[in-house]
Structure 1
Amino acid sequence: MIKELIIDSSPNGATIALLQDKQLVELHKEQVSNNYTVGDIYLGRIKKIMPSLNAAFVDVGYEKDAFLHYLDLGPQVQSLLKLTKQVRSGGYQSKLLDGFKLEGDINKGGKISEILSKNQLIPVQIAKEPISTKGPRLSSDLSIAGRYVVLVPFSEAISISKKIKSNTERNRLRKVVESIKPKHFGVIIRTVSEGKGVDELQKDLLDLISKWELFITKLPSVEPSKKVLGEIGRTSTILRDILNPDFQHIYVNDNGMFEEIRSYIHEISPDMESIVRMHKHKEPIFEHFGVDKQIKGAFGKTVNLAGGAYLVIEHTEALHVIDVNSGNRTASKENQEENAYQVNKEAAKEIARQLRLRDMGGIVVIDFIDMHKPQNRKELFDYLRAEMQYDRAKHTILPPSKFGLVQITRQRVRPEMNIVTSEVCPTCNGTGTIRPTILLMDDIENNFNYILDEQNEKGITLCVHPYIEAYIKKGIYNRQMKWFVKYGQWIKVKSNPAYQITEFRFFSSKDEEIKL
């Protein structure tokens, strides 16, 4: 399996596309303005205790108070509260926990009012980003994730990923980590640690320890409800979690992002630094690699499958519903069962991709085409589980019910990726009528008069549909040449196949759209 990462960077953030064998399987958006990323640690202030929910609402600076349940406090929350109080009062000077006396674990069935009180300060970590009308979901069971290991303060436990099957390797990793981990810190050993040497594990652990030291350093002076320690960017997080030898290329269209990613990969996997490439083509990076076309085809209410079948995906507040339809796929009456099985398998593969692509979370109900043979239902269930194994989000799949419904629960920590693929006609704005096409050039030139004469813009670019570009550039003394003579500057003309036939836009020399 060949994996590629395509990163479209802009001043507002970055859009990250993960391709497997040239097919889009994940799409992420990293916004500059997003201050509530999973993994960020804030110094929260308790606003309200809710005994009926056994939870507290916490102020972390978001417009709505964040939610902290008793079960998310962590067994060592008393130690965290004690450390926070001592550090902020100047009573604890060490940056590690060697001389710190741990408190006892809290009762699993206890009450939150016994632990927390109004206006109390407590470090909390974003466990779920703000979704819809809800504020962030929090946890005070802090952890700092690295490439190979996860550092867990106030613990001595060493946990190893269940995906590492070899007992010999599990024992080796345990002994290595035991020899290098600091006192009163637990460690979770991740799957990618398999086969790694002491040097790599120690370097990763030291990086995490330095982050903890930064957290302790900032804790005394940080204001309540402000961020204390930030998670690395979404791009680096994806690379940290999924980078493996299957990755063939990482393409970036921004010099700053290119250097940042290359530097990060040099730290975590120096032998793969050469796979980072700078996109230098004139056409947009997503258009060049066919990502735009795949986005248009994969998002929306209806998703077509290769064999003529299709999915209908509906979203509600409580759950997501996916209906599988055979469409124009035909089969003889004698072969209806086999036809249903093949359509369902094809749909199962696409559904597993759609869940990752849209990052759909919560409850997902799938209505497959009815099959009468129990063996076929079992094989479909096994096939769906096999396709879902590539999904990094925690999920549970229930076997088909007697109505043929399959239910999936999938971890949701970020808002669902929702892209509207239907387009409103830019020239008629949905009215169904447009200005006469014979006046298109007049409209463009009227805008030139405003942009060039009144706004005094230099080096502008006109972006139009390919047919209009061909019309403008047709002949030796074409319209582009006439504009050069008339306005005294060369106006670049570019085409964009995504534009409607009469759509046009202007861009400045800095490649920013000029709003008219």
Structure 2
Amino acid sequence: MSNELIINSTQNGCRIALLKDKKLSEFHQDDDGHQFNVGDIYLGQVKKVVPGLNAAFVDIGYEKDAFLHYLDLGPQLQSLNKCTKQILSGKMAGKNLNGFKRLPDINKLGKMNQVLSKNQRVLVQVVKEPISTKGPRLSSELSIAGRYIVLVPFSDSVSVSKKIADSAERKRLLRLINSIRPENFGIIIRTVAQGKDVAELDRDLTSLVDKWSKGMEKLKKVKPNEKVIGEMNRANSILRDVLNESFDSIVVDEKALYHDVRDFIREIAPDKEKITKLYNGKAKIFEAYGIEKQLKGLFGQSVSIDGGGYLIIEHTEALHVIDVNSGNKSNAEDNQESTALKVNLDAAKEIARQLRLRDMGGIIVIDFIDMRKIENKKALFSKMKDEMKTDRSKYTILPLSKFGLMQITRQRVRPELNIKTREVCPSCNGTGKVTASILVTDQIEKDVEHIMTKQNEKKLTISLHPYLYAYYTKGLFSRQWKWYFKYKRWINVVEDSSMAILEYNFINSLGEEIAL
């Protein structure tokens, strides 16, 4: 299986697509103006303690106060508060925790007003981004994630990912980490650490301790509500979590971002630096790799299944509902039960993909096609578990109920990704009345003549929907060639499937859109 990461730089950040065998597996949008990413650590200020909820509302600069529950404080809250207070008062450097005397753990069954008070300053970490009308969800059990390990301040424990099943390997990793673990820092060993030597683990640990040290240096100067330690950008965090031996290429279409990604890969996986490439093609990168077309087909209400049939996906505030339909193409099997099983198995694969693509979280209810045989229901349950194994979010899958429904809960830490696939008609702007569509070519001709003769553009590019692109470029003596003979200059024509059918843009030599 080939794995490719395609990164498209945009005006506000970047779009990231993970392709497996050329099929879109994950899609992320990284907005430069987006704050409060999962993993960010802030110096928060307690605004209100609510005994009835056993929680506190903390101000970290968002329009709504963030939510901090007692169970998310972590056992070492008193040690964290002591360290924070000493650093803010200048009594402690905080670069490392050597010699720091930890305080006893807080009571697991205690009350929030026993440990926090109004206007108190406390270090908190974002564990769930603002979603809908809710502010961020916080934790005071801080952790800093690296490529192979996760660093946990004010702890002495070392634990290994449950996905590493080999007992000999678990013992080896525990022995190595215990030999290099700094004082007062706990460590969680990630799955990708399997088979790695002590030098690689030590390099990752050193970078995490350095990140903590810089954060504590910054803490001396920050004001309440300001960020102390920031999570890396979305592109690098995805690389950190998913980069492995199966990756074939990482392609970036913007030079500065390319250097940033390459430098990060050189740091975490030097042997993979050579697979990072800068895209220089004429077409947009998402067009060249067929991603735009896949996005249009995968984020609609109705999604096709490979073997025939389709899914209907509905989103509500409380849950997501997915209905599986056989359609009129799923008739290859001998009987109804076999047809239902085949469509359901194909649907399970697509549903697991859709959950990752849209980052759907909370409660997901799936209405599969009814099956009578117990063994078929078990086969479907097993297939769903297999397809979800690669999902990085925490999830729980329940077997089919007597109503034929499967329930899945999936951790939601950021808003669900929603891409509009319905286009507003560019001619009528949604009014329902359109000027004769055949006139669009006449309008393009007039605009081209105006730009080439009146504005005297030396280099012109036109972005068009694939249908209009074909109209101007196909044929032995195409309309594009007629323009060349008429204006004595070549006019580039680029197809862009993200545009509506009657939409077009003119772009000058500087890459700027020409307003007419």
TM-score above 0.5: yes
Paired position in structure 1 for 2:472: 469
Q: Does 1:42 align with 2:42?
A: yes
RMSD of the TM alignment (CA)?
2.4
Q: Secondary structure at 1:419's aligned position in 2?
A: coil
Between the aligned partners of 2:111 and 2:453, the Cα distance in structure 1 is 70
User: Superposed, which structure 2 residues align to 1:98-137 within 5 Å?
Assistant: 98-137=98-137
Whether the aligned pair in 1 keeps the contact of 2:93 and 2:216 (CA below 8 Å) is no
> How far is 1:445 from its partner?
6.5
Between the aligned partners of 1:153 and 1:433, the Cα distance in structure 2 is 63
Whether the aligned pair in 2 keeps the contact of 1:483 and 1:491 (CA below 8 Å) is no
Paired position in structure 2 for 1:171: 171
> How far is 1:221 from its partner?
0.5
> How far is 1:459 from its partner?
4.6
> How far is 1:283 from its partner?
0.8
The amino acid of 2:399's aligned partner reads: P
Between the aligned partners of 2:317 and 2:501, the Cα distance in structure 1 is 38
Please say which of residues 370-379 and 474-483 is displaced more in the overlay: 474-483
> How far is 1:457 from its partner?
7.7
Whether the aligned pair in 2 keeps the contact of 1:468 and 1:501 (CA below 8 Å) is no
Q: Could you tell me the percent identity over the aligned residues? A: 55
Q: Does 1:238 align with 2:242?
A: no
Please say which of residues 503-512 and 196-205 is displaced more in the overlay: 503-512
Whether the aligned pair in 2 keeps the contact of 1:304 and 1:311 (CA below 8 Å) is yes
Between the aligned partners of 1:309 and 1:476, the Cα distance in structure 2 is 41
Paired position in structure 1 for 2:203: 203
The amino acid of 1:78's aligned partner reads: Q
> How far is 1:500 from its partner?
4.3
Paired position in structure 2 for 1:339: 339
Whether the aligned pair in 1 keeps the contact of 2:252 and 2:258 (CA below 8 Å) is yes
In structure 2, the gaps of 5 or more residues are none
Q: Secondary structure at 1:478's aligned position in 2?
A: helix
Paired position in structure 1 for 2:310: 310
Paired position in structure 2 for 1:395: 395
Paired position in structure 2 for 1:319: 319
> How far is 1:318 from its partner?
0.3
Whether the aligned pair in 2 keeps the contact of 1:24 and 1:294 (CA below 8 Å) is yes
Between the aligned partners of 2:28 and 2:224, the Cα distance in structure 1 is 30
The amino acid of 2:273's aligned partner reads: E
Cα offsets for 1:206-262 (capped at 9, x unmatched): 000000100110111001101111111111111111111111111111111111111
Between the aligned partners of 1:26 and 1:220, the Cα distance in structure 2 is 39
Between the aligned partners of 2:328 and 2:221, the Cα distance in structure 1 is 66
Q: Secondary structure at 2:56's aligned position in 1?
A: strand
Between the aligned partners of 2:460 and 2:431, the Cα distance in structure 1 is 30
> How far is 1:455 from its partner?
9.0
Please say which of residues 494-503 and 416-425 is displaced more in the overlay: 494-503
> How far is 1:62 from its partner?
1.1
Whether the aligned pair in 2 keeps the contact of 1:469 and 1:495 (CA below 8 Å) is no
Please say which of residues 273-282 and 138-147 is displaced more in the overlay: 273-282
Between the aligned partners of 2:73 and 2:458, the Cα distance in structure 1 is 58
Whether the aligned pair in 2 keeps the contact of 1:467 and 1:501 (CA below 8 Å) is no
> How far is 1:307 from its partner?
2.4
Q: Secondary structure at 2:426's aligned position in 1?
A: coil
Between the aligned partners of 2:317 and 2:70, the Cα distance in structure 1 is 25
User: Superposed, which structure 2 residues align to 1:360-439 within 5 Å?
Assistant: 360-436=360-436, 439=439
The amino acid of 2:472's aligned partner reads: E
Paired position in structure 1 for 2:92: 92
Between the aligned partners of 1:398 and 1:87, the Cα distance in structure 2 is 48
Between the aligned partners of 1:476 and 1:82, the Cα distance in structure 2 is 72
Cα offsets for 1:450-500 (capped at 9, x unmatched): 87899998755332321453399846983455456xxxx875443435544
- Following superposition, which runs of at least 4 residues in structure 1 exceed 6 angstroms of deviation? 448-458
Distance 1:124 1:342, change over 3 A: same
Paired position in structure 1 for 2:16: 16
TM-score under structure 1 length normalisation: 0.93
> How far is 1:58 from its partner?
1.1
Distance 1:85 1:304, change over 3 A: same
Paired position in structure 2 for 1:138: 138
Whether the aligned pair in 2 keeps the contact of 1:75 and 1:105 (CA below 8 Å) is yes
Between the aligned partners of 1:166 and 1:124, the Cα distance in structure 2 is 35
The amino acid of 1:195's aligned partner reads: G
> How far is 1:142 from its partner?
0.5
Between the aligned partners of 1:225 and 1:397, the Cα distance in structure 2 is 38
Cα offsets for 1:417-468 (capped at 9, x unmatched): 1111121221222334333456546644665698789999875533232145
Q: Secondary structure at 2:165's aligned position in 1?
A: coil
Distance 1:383 1:495, change over 3 A: closer
Q: Secondary structure at 1:134's aligned position in 2?
A: coil
Whether the aligned pair in 2 keeps the contact of 1:30 and 1:235 (CA below 8 Å) is yes
Between the aligned partners of 1:453 and 1:230, the Cα distance in structure 2 is 52
Between the aligned partners of 1:151 and 1:455, the Cα distance in structure 2 is 60
Please say which of residues 452-461 and 24-33 is displaced more in the overlay: 452-461
Paired position in structure 2 for 1:52: 52
Q: Does 1:228 align with 2:231?
A: no
Between the aligned partners of 1:50 and 1:455, the Cα distance in structure 2 is 66
Paired position in structure 2 for 1:75: 75
Distance 1:501 1:316, change over 3 A: closer
Whether the aligned pair in 1 keeps the contact of 2:292 and 2:498 (CA below 8 Å) is no
> How far is 1:93 from its partner?
2.7
Q: Does 1:503 align with 2:503?
A: yes
Cα offsets for 1:160-193 (capped at 9, x unmatched): 0111111111111111111111111000001111
Q: Secondary structure at 1:102's aligned position in 2?
A: coil
